[in-house]
Structure 1
Amino acid sequence: MAIATMNCIVLDCPDPRRLAEFYAQVLDWKVEPGEGDTWVDVSGPGGQRLAFQESAGFIPPQWPSLEHAQQLHLDLDVPRDRMDEAEQEVIKLGARLIQDDGGGKRGFRVYLDPAGHPFCLCVAD
């Protein structure tokens, strides 16, 4: 028997509403209504949830770095034939490419979201 079940993943950031809207658009999920902007939930069709929590002293991770380590990143699957299109879409939403896939040699590309958290678009075969 499990000790606990997974509730959600929470990312600290300076602007929870902005980051929730970014991931909602990337994943085609829904920003949940809430009573404020210090905590914002995004929900997916299977009950998955991401939450975004305001952190006034937020210092974005640097990738790769041990001094300002990422501690967590999200891997998001994309069909191989949509990788370039997906990249353009996340960049238009505010992401920044920080490591390409080496001309297709690696099955992922690394980006920073608008708050500076690293995430990867990964080839889903």
Structure 2
Amino acid sequence: MAIATLDTVVLDCPDPLALARFYAQVLGGEVKETTDGTDSWVELRGAPGAPLAFQSAPGFVPPAWPAAEPSQQFHLDLTVPDLDVAEKAVLALGAVPLDATDRQRTFRVYADPAGHPFCLCAS
């Protein structure tokens, strides 16, 4: 029997609203800001898959790819129907290629604007 269920994947970042807008463009969904007037927590709602939220982290240092130190900790795998089309779109939104030169593989690695690694994976 499970002890818990996954509620939300939360990404620490320097600018939660900007990163939420990036992922809204990539995944769809609606950006929902906090109602307390702070920008320390922003959610992405209505996108397929696990819910995402973005939390302000003063002093945030993005993980290194693929270096073991400091550890990357985790990354997101995003399934797409066409790698070339998806790559063009995420680069236009501010993603940075980390390991995307091998065109024979079924995945390519990028960093979002805050430096979190994510993969575009062929469906």
Compute the TM-score of the two structures, normalised by the length of structure 2.
0.91
- Give the length in aligned residue pairs: 121
Deviations 1:74-94 (A, max 9, x none): 000011xx2111101101111
Matches within 5 A, 1:1-125: 1-35=1-35, 36-45=38-47, 48-79=50-81, 82-100=82-100, 102-104=102-104, 106-124=105-123
Letter matched to residue 32 of structure 2: E
Flag as ranges the 4+ runs of structure 1 deviating above 4 A: none
Distance 2:57 2:15 in 1: 8
1:46 positional shift: 5.2
- Secondary structure of the structure 2 residue equivalent to 1:32: strand
- Secondary structure of the structure 1 residue equivalent to 2:33: coil
Give yes or no for contact 1:101–1:108 (8 Å, CA) kept in 2.
Answer: no
Structure 1 unaligned blocks of 5 or more: none
Distance 2:89 2:23 in 1: 12
Compute the TM-score of the two structures, normalised by the length of structure 1.
0.90
Give yes or no for contact 1:101–1:107 (8 Å, CA) kept in 2.
Answer: no
Distance 1:86 1:38 in 2: 29
Deviations 1:18-52 (A, max 9, x none): 00000011001111132221010102355731011
Give yes or no for contact 2:28–2:47 (8 Å, CA) kept in 1.
Answer: no
Structure 2 unaligned blocks of 5 or more: none
